C-alpha cells in the first residue's frame, strides 16, 4: 500500500461516491455511540435532517479545495468499529455555510454487490483538535 494514497483523484471520488449513494438512498448510520452528541453539537435534529443536509455539505466540500479539506491519514485509516467492517475512513473538514461553523465529517464507502457505492455515516461535529 502506497503512502501517496489517497491521491487527489481518490479524495475527490470518495465525495462523488458519497453524493451518488445518498442520492440513490444507499446510506446508513454506522456507529451510534456519539450520534446524539454529534447531532446536538451540529444542530442536526434527526436522521432525516442529516440525510437532507449531507448533499449540501458534501457539495460544500466539492466547492472548496478537496485536497485541503481531506483530514485523514496517508494512506486512509481502516475503521476499527465493527459496524463499519474495517472500511477506510474518509474524514473532511471545512468551513460550512450550511451549518455556520467549521465542520468535521467522516464516512466510509462500501461498494455493494450491484457495483454501486453505499454511504456509511461515521461522525459529524464541529472541527476540533484530535477529531474522533
**Right CATH number for 8-126 from 1.20.1640, 1.10.3470, 3.30.2310, 3.10.590?**
3.30.2310
Per DSSP, 88 falls in state B
pLDDT of the residue at 1: 46
Q: Is the pLDDT of residue 83 over 90?
A: no
Which helix (H) or strand (E) element contains residue 120?
strand 117-126
pLDDT band at 5 (very low <50, low <70, confident <90, very high): very high
Per-domain residue ranges for the chain? 8-126
How does pLDDT run across 30-56, given as a tens digit for each residue?
Answer: 888 899 999 999 999 999 999 999 999
Predicted TM-score (pTM) of the model is 0.94
Residue 129 pLDDT = 83
Percent of the chain whose predicted confidence (pLDDT) is above 70: 97
Phi, psi of 117, deg, nearest 5: -75, 145
pLDDT computed for residue 56 by the predictor: 98
pLDDT band at residue 95 using 50, 70 and 90 as cut-offs: very high
Closest among 117, 115, 71, 123 to 94, alpha carbons compared: 71
Percent of the chain with pLDDT over 90: 86
Angle at which helix 8-23 crosses helix 47-63, to 10 degrees, equals 150
- Of the candidates 91, 104, 106, the residue with the CA atom closest to the CA atom of residue 41: 104
- The average confidence (pLDDT) of the chain is 94
Q: What is the pLDDT of residue 3?
A: 64
Cβ proximity of 103 and 42 under 8 Å: yes
Amino acid at each position: 500500500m502506497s503512502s501517496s494514497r489517497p491521491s487527489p483523484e481518490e479524495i475527490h471520488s470518495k465525495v462523488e461516491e458519497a453524493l451518488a449513494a445518498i442520492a440513490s438512498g444507499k446510506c446508513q448510520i454506522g456507529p451510534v455511540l456519539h450520534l446524539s452528541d454529534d447531532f446536538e453539537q451540529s444542530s442536526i435534529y434527526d436522521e432525516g435532517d442529516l440525510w437532507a443536509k449531507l448533499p449540501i455539505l458534501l457539495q460544500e466540500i466539492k466547492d472548496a479545495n478537496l485536497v485541503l479539506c481531506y483530514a485523514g491519514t496517508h494512506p486512509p485509516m481502516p475503521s476499527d468499529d465493527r459496524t463499519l467492517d474495517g472500511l477506510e475512513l474518509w474524514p473532511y473538514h471545512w468551513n460550512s455555510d450550511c451549518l455556520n461553523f467549521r465542520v468535521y465529517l467522516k464516512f466510509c464507502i462500501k461498494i455493494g454487490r450491484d457495483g454501486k457505492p453505499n454511504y456509511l455515516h461515521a461522525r459529524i461535529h464541529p472541527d476540533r483538535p484530535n477529531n474522533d
